[in-house]
Structure 1
């Protein structure tokens, strides 16, 4: 039985829509696999942590308990971290974290990490970070 031109046209447009949908879904699946496949570096995340000390933790001007206290965080507080250095040992841990949003330090002995934290010498530094006091603190 011969098809009418309208029926053929409808069949072609339906097939075209189905093909476009399939191509789009394959494109999305392919890009998701490529983004997480071998040889592709992971998407960088902002390092973060949670305060684990029952009494909280002091923010210090430099990575040392001899440095002045600039503020405190309560237990369970979420903090974002910029980088880490090896400095004074606190509770068997010599790592100190520089906070992301202000130039203060907290001892890693009291922070549970949520993600990896780079060394400060591997992080791009700004103009203020090149001050002699800051360079001395970063090691």
Structure 2
């Protein structure tokens, strides 16, 4: 039997033995301070979740050609006022107007947790 196969067999047997004894890896139940379960966030009035890998720029208008007026941390839960069609960002033309700050964010990087109405203006 090759050395690699012996290693895999030994690791598998060890994992099986530990699981039979009721030993499992430790998992933290705490969420980071800026992260909260989606249901709780929605209950608090937040209806959007920033899903970009890095911070997300807030723009003065629904286009990347407008000035950056702020940013949101990845994983943040936010309040969205309404949506419009704007500049296409990776196949998505929808932009959300923020409720808590003046500005716009592309829907490509924000998951809506509830239905978002179209803007009236």
TM category, shorter: 0.5 to 0.7
Moved over 2 A (4+): none
Normalized against structure 2, the TM-score is what?
Answer: 0.61
Greater gyration radius: 1
> Quick check: 1:47–1:117 contact (8 Å CA) kept in 2?
no
Distance 2:101 2:116 in 1: 16
Task: Tell me the SS of whatever aligns to 1:63.
Answer: coil
> Quick check: 2:46–2:77 contact (8 Å CA) kept in 1?
no
Normalized against structure 1, the TM-score is what?
Answer: 0.53
Structure 2 residues without counterparts, runs of 5 or longer: 1-43
Residues 29-76 of structure 1, C-alpha deviations (whole Å, 9 max, x = no match): xxxxxxxxxxxxxxxx95611100101210000000000001111110
Task: Tell me the SS of whatever aligns to 1:64.
Answer: coil
How far did 1:97 drift?
Answer: 0.3
Number of the residue aligned with 2:107: 108
- In the TM superposition, 1:16-35 aligns within 5 A as none
Distance 1:63 1:47 in 2: 20
1:71 matched to 2:70? The reply is yes
Number of the residue aligned with 2:90: 91
Structure 1 residues without counterparts, runs of 5 or longer: 1-44, 122-137
Which structure shows the higher helix fraction?
1
Distance 1:91 1:79 in 2: 22
